[in-house]
Structure 1
C-alpha cells in the first residue's frame, strides 16, 4: 500500500498532532506515490463568504515538480487535496499560483501540470500566471501562442464564478472574489507585462474603482538573507507605471527569487503597500508543493501568514523522512508572521462607506423608553463647536419628553475644559455628537450632568427589567490617574436603602465604573434582594468607540459590549434598582453622597428602557 492509498486528507490540526513523531536519522520514507480515485474525488467543501475571516492560499514556483522525466506531481496533488478538504475549516476563498509552474514549459510538462490542476477545478477558485520557465523568458505577454496559454489561458477559467476576464493576449487575468463580507480583486500579471498589458490592467482597476486589489506576478521584489525585500528592476517598472498611482493595490505577491522576504512601500497617496516574495524551490524536494495561507481577519484587522507542506504533513510520521520532518512547516520571521491592517481605514479613500445620516430622535424612542439623551442640537441647549467648553447649566433634554432632563455641573473648582462638546461619535450612533469629559484624580477633576430633584427616573425601581445603553470611547493615550472613575450612576447611599450585604453602605445604589486596568464594572443594589451582583468586562481598548448595554430581565443582569455578552455576568438574582429618589448622573459616581474624580473620555447617546431589550433592538444592532 502506498502512503496515500485508502486515506483522505485530515484536518491540519490533526496532521500537526502527528507531526511531532520524527523518524530516526537515516530512515527513508517513500517520496512518490500514485494518486488514488478516492483521494482525487474529494468534493468541494462549504465556504463562508460573509464571516469576518477567510484565507487565500499562495502557491509559488512548482517548476522542479514538473521537470522533464524528473517530474513528480504528487506533492502538488497533496497540496490540492488539502485545499479542497480544508476549504471549510480554513475558509479558503482562493488560491493563486505565482508562476514557474514548470521547469521548461514543454508540452509534456504543461500537460502533466494541467492534469494535476484538475484536482481543484470547480472546487477551489484559483488563478495562474506565467513565469519565465513556463514560456520563452525573453518575451513579454505579446509572445503569441504557447503550450502554457493553451493549458492555463482564459479558456480554462471561462465560466468560473470568480473569473473576470483576461487581456487580449490571454496572459494577464483577473478574478473577483468575496470574503469577509466584501469583494476583492486578484490581478494576475504575466512575467513580463507589456505596455499593452499594463494598459489593460489599468482598465481593470478603473472598472472596479472600489475594490481592494492583490497584485500577483512572478517578478516584482527580491530579498536578502535577512528577509528584507526590495523592488527588482521589473518590479520598479510595475511600481512606477501601475502600483504607485493605484491606491487600491495594498498587497503584492511574487515568486521567482529566493529567499522569501517582505517590505512595506508607500504609494503616492501616502498609504502602505505590502510587497511579499515567497518561493521554496530551493528547499528540500523542490519545495514539496509548500503553500502559504494568508488568513484575513477583518474583526482583528490583521492578516496572519503561515507556511507549510501538506504533503509532508499527510505522510505517516513513522514513514516520514528526516528532511521531510524538518520541512513540514517554516516558522522563521519571513514565513510566519502577521500584518496589521486597519482595513476600513486603509480602503477608505476608494471604498469608504458614506457616513450614515443622523437618526431622528423619534426613531430611537422604542416602546418603554424612559429617557433618551443625545448631545447634538436636538438634545443640547448649547451645542457648540468641536472642542468648545460647555458651561455649567447647559441642559441635555430628555427627548422622551418625560421630564428627565440633565443639567451640567462643574465640580471641585475644575477648569471649564473639564467638559466640552465634540463632533466625534460612533459610526452607528443616532446623533453625530458627544461630550468629552476630562476628569481625573489628585486633585479631583469632574463634571457631571444630573437630573432635577424631582425627575421621574430618580425613583423608578425597574422591577420588571431594564436596558441601559451608552456609546463611549476612552482616549488613545490613557494618561493620568483614572482608576474607579464613574461613567453613570444613581446618587445616594445603598445603606439608606437598607442594603447592607455589599461592599460598602456608602456606595451608590447603582453605578457603572472603570477600574485601573480598564475593566468595566457594573455594580447594582437590587430593589428586592439584599445583595450587590457585580458584572465585570475584559480590559477595554482605548481609542475606539464602543456600545454598552446593561440588560436586566427582572431576574439577572447581562452586560454587552458591542453586542457581545461579557464573561463575568453573575447568575445571582437581581430584580430592579434600589433607587432613593435622588438624581441620576452621567460622568461620575458618588461615595458617601460625594463625587470624587470624574469620567475621562467621550460619551455619546444614552438611552434607558424599562424592559430587557434583545441585541437586535439595541441602538447598535447586533451583527
Structure 2
C-alpha cells in the first residue's frame, strides 16, 4: 500500500506540513485507501520551453524565474513517484523541452540545397537562434530531469524547438501556398541527444530503457504498474519510415504488452491528425511522416497500442478511433504553453506584452485497473496554482477565450478533466499481466 505524498513542489512557502498533505490529497484525488493494487498514475509533461527560455528569468529582466515553475513540476513528479511512496509509475515529456535553436542552418542542410529566407516568424525572439540555449536552457532542462532520475522510468521526446537549427524554407515565401508567414524548417538533434540521448546518464544501462534509434531521439521503455507490464515508445517529431520500422521491431520484441506512444505533434486543438501548417516536416522533406501517416502506417496496424500522447499545438483535445483489429486507440493532446496568467499577475503593467509561460499546468493520467472495467481519469493540475482545472474558480475566466471560446465553462473544464473507459483492456491484454499482482518483479 502506498502512502500519500510527503511533500509538494510549493514546499517552503510558509505552509504547514498538515496543510500541504491536505492540499496534495485534494489535487491528486487519491488517498492511502485508494492507492491500492491496480491503481497508478502516468505524469504527462507538455511543452516546457517557456519555462526554460533564457529570456524568462530575472537575470534577463523577467519579473520572476520561470524555470522555477518547471522545477516545481519535476519536483512534484519526483516526490510522488511510486519509489517514494506515491502513485506515479511513469512520466512522459512531449517535447519542446527548451526554446531556442543554436544556429540558423547546419552545413548539412545547406549542402542539401535548403535555403533560408527572412520571414515574420524567424524574426520572433523564440525562433531566432541563440547560443544561450547551450549555456542556460539546456542546463536548466538537465537540472529538472535530474530531479526525477533514479526515481521512476521516464521518456523525453524532441519537439521542433529542441532541434539544433531552424530556418524559413525559401520555397514558401510569405503569403504563398496558403501560408501567410511562410514555412519553418528544423534540423539536427545533436544538442538534444547530448542531454537525452541513449548514452547519457539519464538512460545509459537503465534496465527499463530497452531500445533506441537515431541516438535516442526515438526510444522505448518498460514499466510495471497496476498488475501489468507496459511498453512505451517515444518518437521524434514526424518520424520517418525507418523510425516506424524500428518501432515495429520493438513491438515484435515485446508482443502483447499494452503500449503507449508519445510524440511531439499528432493532434491539433480540433482533435484532427493535422500538422500546424507553418511547421510541416513532411512538406519540407517527404522522408517524414505526418500524423495521419503515423496513424495509417503504424498506430492502426499494431493492436497492442492503446494510447497516443502529444503536445505541440496549444490547447487540448482527445479522440478515440478503432484500429484495424476493431480495438480502441485513445489519442490525447495536452499543451499549455500559451497560458500566461502567472506573468500577468507578476507584472500587471506589462500585461499587453505577448509573453506566455504555461502557468505550471500538466496532466496526470490516473489508471484504475482494479475492477472488471479498466479506466483512466485524466486530470489537469497546476503546481503554480496548487489546483486542478475543476477546482480553480477562475480557470475558465483565465483560459477559455484563447483555447475554446465557443465552449461553455462546463465544456471547457470537461476538456481538461475527463475519463477514458478502457472497456476492453483486461481481455485485450490478459497475457501482459505481471507475475505478481502489484505489477512489480
TM-score, normalized by the shorter chain, greater than 0.5:
yes
CA-CA distance at 1:118 after TM superposition: 1.2
- Post-superposition shift, 1:90? 4.5
Q: Which residue of 1 aligns with 2:142?
A: 114
Q: Residue 312 of structure 1 aligns to a residue in which SS?
A: coil
2:422 aligned partner: 341
Partner of 2:203: 157
For residues 19 and 258 of structure 2, the distance between their equivalents in structure 1, rounded to whole angstroms, comes to 31
User: 1:103 aligned to 2:185?
Assistant: no
Alpha-carbon distance between aligned partners in 2 of 1:86 and 1:143, rounded to the nearest angstrom: 36
Contact 2:306 2:328 in 1 (8 A): yes
Q: Kindly report which structure 2 residues correspond to 1:271-286, keeping only aligned pairs within 5 A, or say none.
A: 271-284=327-340, 285=342, 286=357
Structure 1 CA distance, aligned partners of 2:147 and 2:396? Answer: 23
Structure 2 equivalent of residue 147 of structure 1: 191
1:546-586 CA-to-partner distances (Å, cap 9, x unmatched) read: xxxxxxxxxxxxxxxxxxxxxxxxxxxxxxxxxxxxxxxxx
Give the C-alpha shift of residue 289 in structure 1. 3.0
Offset of residue 288 of structure 1: 2.5
1:145–1:18 Cα change, 3 Å:
closer
Residue 71 (structure 2) aligned to one of 50, 59, 77: 77
- TM-score normalised by length of structure 1: 0.45
The yes-or-no answer on 1:127 pairing with 2:155 is yes
Q: C-alpha separation between the residues in 2 aligned to 1:131 and 1:50?
A: 35
Matching of residues 405-420 of structure 1 within 5 Å = none
- 1:267–1:4 Cα change, 3 Å: same
Match of 2:366 in 1: 295
Aligned with residue 385 of structure 2, among 284, 290, 312: 312
> Residue 133 of structure 1 aligns to a residue in which SS?
helix
Which SS does the other structure have where 1:111 is aligned?
helix
Cα distance, 1:346 vs. partner?
3.3
Q: CA, structure 1 residues 290+219, in 2 after alignment: closer, same or farther (shift >3 Å)?
A: same
Closer, same or farther: CA 165–9 of 1 in aligned 2, 3 Å: farther
Structure 1 SS opposite 2:50: helix
Residues 1:321 and 1:114: Cα distance change in structure 2 (over 3 Å): farther
User: What is residue 312 of structure 2 aligned with on the other side?
Assistant: 256
Equivalent pair of 1:344/1:352 in contact (CA under 8 Å): no
Whether 2:244 is the aligned partner of 1:194: answer no
Match of 2:230 among 159, 179, 184: 184
> What is the aligned partner in structure 1 of residue 324 from structure 2?
268
Kept in 1: contact 2:78–2:151 (CA 8 A): yes
**Partner residue of 2:264?**
218
Q: Kindly tell me: are residues 193 and 74 of structure 1, through their superposed partners in 2, closer, same or farther at Cα, counting changes over 3 Å? A: same
For residue 273 of structure 2, what is the aligned residue in structure 1? 231
1:462-505 Cα distance to aligned partner (Å, 9 max, x none): xxxxxxxxxxxxxxxxxxxxxxxxxxxxxxxxxxxxxxxxxxxx
Please say if residues 47 and 95 of structure 2, whose CA atoms lie closer than 8 Å, have aligned partners that are also in contact: yes
Alpha-carbon distance in structure 2 between the residues aligned to 1:9 and 1:219: 40
- For residues 300 and 331 of structure 2, the distance between their equivalents in structure 1, rounded to whole angstroms, comes to 12
Richer in helix (by share): 2
Tell me, yes or no, if structure 1 residue 15 matches structure 2 residue 9: no
CA distance in structure 2 between the partners assigned to 1:268 and 1:340 by the alignment:
19
Structure 2: distance between partners of 1:352 and 1:18: 32
Aligned to 1:521: none
The Cα offsets for residues 314-373 of structure 1, whole Å up to 9 and x where unpaired, read as 9xxxxx99889968xx9711110111113112336xx478xxxxxxxxxxxxxxxxxxxx
Q: Is the 8 A contact 1:56 1:293 kept in 2?
A: yes
Residue pair 1:122, 1:160 contacting (<8 A) in 2 also? no
Distance of aligned partners of 1:145 and 1:339 in 2 relative to their CA distance in 1, 3 Å threshold? closer
Shift of 1:144: 5.0
What SS does structure 2 have at the residue aligned with 1:113?
helix
Which residue of the other structure, out of 186, 200, 203, is the alignment partner of 2:249? 203
Greater RCO structure (CA 8 Å; 6+ sep): 2
**Aligned partners of 1:352, 1:84: CA distance in 2, in Å?**
27
The answer to which structure has the higher strand fraction is 1
Q: Which residue of 1 is the match for residue 119 of structure 2? A: none
Q: CA deviation at 1:86?
A: 2.4
User: How far apart, in 1, do the equivalents of 2:49 and 2:56 lie?
Assistant: 11
Shift, 1:283, TM fit: 1.4
Question: RMSD over aligned Cα, in angstroms?
Answer: 3.4
Aligned length: 310
Q: How does 1:395-414 map to 2 (within 5 A)?
A: none
**How far apart are the structure 2 equivalents of 1:66 and 1:246?**
36
Q: Partner of 2:308: helix, strand, or coil? A: strand
2: CA distance, partners of 1:290 / 1:186: 23
3-state SS in 1 of match to 2:319: strand
TM-aligned CA deviation for residue 73 of structure 1: 1.0
Structure 2: any 5+ residue segments left out of the alignment? 1-9, 58-65, 102-132, 170-185, 276-289, 343-356, 400-409, 434-441
| Aligned mates of 1:341, 1:66 — CA distance in 2 | 36
1:65 aligns with 2:51: yes
- The Cα offsets for residues 72-110 of structure 1, whole Å up to 9 and x where unpaired, read as 210111112222222356511011000011111421311
Whole-angstrom distance in 1 between the partners of 2:55 and 2:40: 38
Runs of at least 5 residues in structure 1 that lack an aligned partner in the other structure? 20-45, 315-319, 354-623
- In 1, distance between residues paired with 2:188 and 2:36? 40
